[in-house]
Amino acid sequence: MPALIELHDVSKSFGSVHAVRGVDLELAEGEALGIVGPNGAGKTTVLNLIGGSQRADSGTIRFAGTDVTKLSGHHRCRLGIGRTFQIPRPFGGLTAYENVLVAATFGGRGRSDAAEGVAALARVGLAHKADALASSLTLLERKRLELARALATRPRVLLLDEVAGGLTEPEVNALVATVVELRADGIAIIWIEHIVHALLSVVDRLLALVEGQRLLEGEPHAVIASPELRDVYLGTEL
């Protein structure tokens, strides 16, 4: 299966801090990849580099065969790279529906209409809040709106950054069901998440990062159970 996303020897530094060091990554059409690692491992920076909110210092990023390394984030979004952020960033003065309509209109691929925004809200269980101002939503509702805005752009690949954080167990299960449905529709997924059982319910492969570098990659349960990953989280003495 041809790669939809390809990273080759990608690096990013912030001053003397090497956030990402020579990372290689591939994601096929319709595939789901999970990324794990301790805080500061470079996980979110990898998503930022793929989505275009940050520019790689070196290396190449390709999407559907096209070199997007130097393209802006909004250009990548229009090509089909959707993104959620760990801290939701809605337009507080707009309603939930207006937020997704803006996403569909300015970030979507091709023509969008009102029904698309409604469908995105319904998909994340937020249709009943369509007319509520985003600033009035709870944290959990803003997380749902964040996902709905990404879906409204009609992505081919969806970058998820800890969308399950702060959710109750039933809400996590509902989120997993939603992500499974998105995969069934052919949307590829790259998901950073600390709630491991959510990842294991969805992803085909797991990539572990440490200090901005690839530690190991493979079958999700095998990666989680590996001594290498245990040592990174817990220390070799334990």
- Structure token digits, residue 12: 């990013």
- Structure token digits, residue 102: 């803006």
Segment among 1-5, 41-45, 178-182 with least mean pLDDT: 1-5
Q: What's the rounded Cα separation, in Å, for the pair 87 and 89?
A: 6
In which element (H, E) is residue 227 found? helix 227-234
Give the domain range for residue 2. 1-80+156-165+175-238
CATH number of residue 197's parent domain:
3.40.50.300
Residues 39 and 65 both lie in one domain? yes
Residues 74 and 161 both lie in one domain? yes
Q: Give the pLDDT confidence score for residue 238 in this predicted structure.
A: 39
What single-letter DSSP state applies at residue 19?
A: E
Residue 2 domain flag:
yes
Residues 7 and 69 both lie in one domain? yes
Residue 106 domain flag:
yes
Looking at the structure of the chain, the number of domains it has is 2
Residues 112 and 139 both lie in one domain? yes
CA dihedral (168, 190, 46, 123) positive or negative: negative
16, 114, 135 from 141: Cα distances, Å: 38, 21, 10
Q: Is the pLDDT confidence value at 237 over 50?
A: no
Q: What's the rounded Cα separation, in Å, for the pair 196 and 184?
A: 21
Residue 210 domain flag:
yes
**Mean pLDDT in residue range 127-155:** 92
